[in-house]
A and B are shown apart, each in its own frame.
Chain A
């Protein structure tokens, strides 16, 4: 009798899987080994244009990580009937079966919105019972699908900058271990983007809805426990000239540096912590001497020397593209010129 009950229970479970209203393959997300092709997840009705399948929701952070100027689109998937829990200050707690999907593309011409956009890679974070799994898929030349990549890849990128200058470099798709070089808190793989402070602004959705993302996620039922919006901190878009420069700089450093430079991150040993909530003292780099910088110090004495960007190691390492000197250590081969300029102005403003 017991056996019959169990069989019935299994059958019911199977029906509920098969009967999901979503085209997304929960089985693919939860498989012990990831599928070989990106298409097997069913995240997109139209893969090439990343037209999301039902249940797959686009999102964006106010300030993004610089990845050699790649255009990025991001999606979140939470299994039907489940919701992520709001977490103050950190990434939300997502239920098993959730996925975060991020694609990296380059336009043929940054000044021409109609120019051809080539997708290089799509990275997925998959939430299993055992924790998050991180994988990268590299797109084929025909741009019809992407294949699982373990060892990383080098992809030549040729484009034209907004000012007409030619761009040519080799883009690096991370290898599996490099995912954890950033997505790591206390040795555990974590998402980085979906934190309340990054999503706390209005986004236009494909159906024309304009909504604060936190409110939208709550409304469609994929996020619960959101406090009153006016009680949530917001990171500004670092490019927003009207915003406070201190918040812009801190926001940029939080997103571009603090995945490693936080007390529980891979660069904890440096004693330099650039996360949003770190008090603005020596641990935030202010008049802090380097520890293990080696030639990365560039002969400068302090990480951030108030009023003196040229005396600040931080600026030296952001302006470098040389391994052993440049920061972040991975994830870029080009300099983020505009951001460095903003950070220079910020350091000049510090007393």
Chain B
């Protein structure tokens, strides 16, 4: 009996010790050996740990990575704690997370040679109040993506600032259940891009001075396809006026300067309550995937897009590049607020498109629109004309319910 009690007490002591260990805080401060200590803290962290990176500048020569679940990496503010990768000699990104239940917050990643902060295969990954920046401004030599969750689930991007990405500032790829909010993306090729992903709420963001503000894409030949159920609302897509600086070969290379929002080959996309101003090519473009591809599972046309109750200011007066010219030659300048290439699958062209797969628009009086009817243009070169009757596209689509994230369930 007595023995049993001792064992219980010992057990309790062990438990409490474990709990203490599990809640360990590792604090890194700048100075000699700081980089090694940071690297080691990330490698040796235990689930439940917090890694605090003190204010200051850390000049890293190698990418960092975190592979432990349930860890928070926290700085002392995106202008105070700066991880600089200017002198990076290895790895494809600044910080790579491959584990679950991770929070990254309150620090900056600068000048990484590849991507900025990436998560691969993470469940419950939070990027909060981060700054990811290429400090020399928009350049083709900059890394592709700033904040970059891929093949991840339950993704929260909240209050980040990304500048200078040569592809997309905030890029969510092949992921599901996503919130991107209250963030600023500027001077990137694409401000925010949601690609081959399912279930995303993108709201309260500012996408300005990019080549294109927000892109909702689905691409062929990827393990995860069928991007769908996306809500883009209450964002500012304004002044997207940076010339495209993406290295050739990348899909965003086709985005003309001055695009507010592009929806390409996605399904069930809802665009509402946004503000579009001073986007020189067009505020909204809805289009099919334009390249040849070899992929039987790919749906190349957008299916079910509902654009409503947005505010449109001045725009479309400086259509840029091949795409801009192609549109303006058909629509005239200024380019209408909303442009649809009109591409459907050929059998649909000769019959009809199911109600759930159509493009619907409900905007204030005076909003301009064009359906470029690209298939007619191709098939009937002398007997077609663009359709500018916005009222012919009235209707609604059932909106997906708001995205809920387990990391925000309050538990």
Contact = CB atoms under 8 A, between A and B. Distances in A.
Interface of A: 150-152, 170, 172, 175-178, 180-181, 187, 263, 266, 268-269, 271, 281-283, 287-302, 313, 322-325, 329-330, 333
| For the complex of A and B, 8 pairs with smallest distance between CB atoms | A294-B144, A297-B249, A324-B113, A324-B114, A329-B92, A299-B248, A323-B113, A177-B65
B36 A294 contact: no
B219 A291 contact: yes
A323 B141 CA distance: 11
A289 B43 contact: no
Contact of B43 (A177, A288, A294, A296): A177
B166 interface: yes
B351 interface: no
Nearest to A266: B120
Contact of B143 (A151, A288, A324): A324
A151 B65 contact: no
Contact of A330 (B43, B66, B91): B91
Given A294-B247, A295-B143, A323-B88, 7 more contacts: A271-B223, A282-B221, A291-B219, A294-B144, A324-B113, A325-B113, A329-B91
B133 to A, nearest CB: 15
B89 A289 contact: no
B112 to A, nearest CB: 8
Contacts of B144: 292-296
A301 B43 contact: no
Contact of B247 (A281, A299, A333): A299
Contact of A150 (B44, B150, B295): B44
Contacts of A299: 247-249
B265 to A, nearest CB: 14
B274 interface: no
A298 B92 CA distance: 15
Nearest to A290: B249
B115 interface: yes
B145 interface: yes
Interface of B: 36, 39-40, 42-44, 62-63, 65-67, 88-92, 98, 112-115, 120-121, 140-145, 148, 150-151, 166-167, 171, 173-174, 219, 221-224, 247-251, 291, 293-295
Contacts of B90: 172, 323, 329-330, 333
A209 B221 CA distance: 48
**Interface of chain B: mostly helix, strand, loop or mixed:** loop
A283 B220 CA distance: 10
B10 to A, nearest CB: 20
A63 B346 CA distance: 48
29 contacts: A151-B40, A172-B90, A175-B39, A177-B42, A177-B67, A180-B67, A180-B98, A271-B221, A282-B294, A283-B221, A292-B148, A292-B171, A294-B144, A294-B166, A294-B167, A295-B140, A295-B142, A295-B144, A296-B144, A297-B247, A297-B250, A301-B248, A302-B249, A323-B90, A323-B91, A323-B113, A324-B113, A325-B113, A330-B90
A263 B249 CA distance: 23
A97 B166 CA distance: 48
B221 A324 contact: no
A301 B40 CA distance: 39
Nearest to B167: A294
A324 B116 CA distance: 10
Contacts of B115: 292, 294
Nearest to A267: B120
Contacts of A296: 114, 144, 247
Contacts of A180: 67, 98
A268 B171 CA distance: 17
Nearest to A328: B92
A26 to B, nearest CB: 26
B173 A269 contact: yes
B309 to A, nearest CB: 33
Contacts of A266: 98, 120
Contacts of A294: 114-115, 143-145, 166-167, 247, 250
Contacts of A293: 144, 247, 249-250
A313 B249 contact: yes
A271 B88 CA distance: 26
A282 B167 CA distance: 22
Contacts of B98: 180, 187, 266
A197 to B, nearest CB: 24
Contacts of B167: 292, 294
Contacts of A150: 40, 43-44
B249 A300 contact: yes
Of A178, A289, A291, A313, chain B has the most CB atoms within 10 Å of the CB of: A291
B221 to A, nearest CB: 5
Nearest to A186: B121
Contacts of B92: 323-324, 329
A288 B221 CA distance: 8
Contacts of B251: 289, 291
A151 B36 contact: yes
A340 to B, nearest CB: 19
B150 A298 contact: no
B294 A281 contact: yes
A301 B148 CA distance: 22
Contacts of A269: 120, 150-151, 173-174, 222-224
A263 B174 CA distance: 13
Contacts of B66: 177
B115 to A, nearest CB: 7
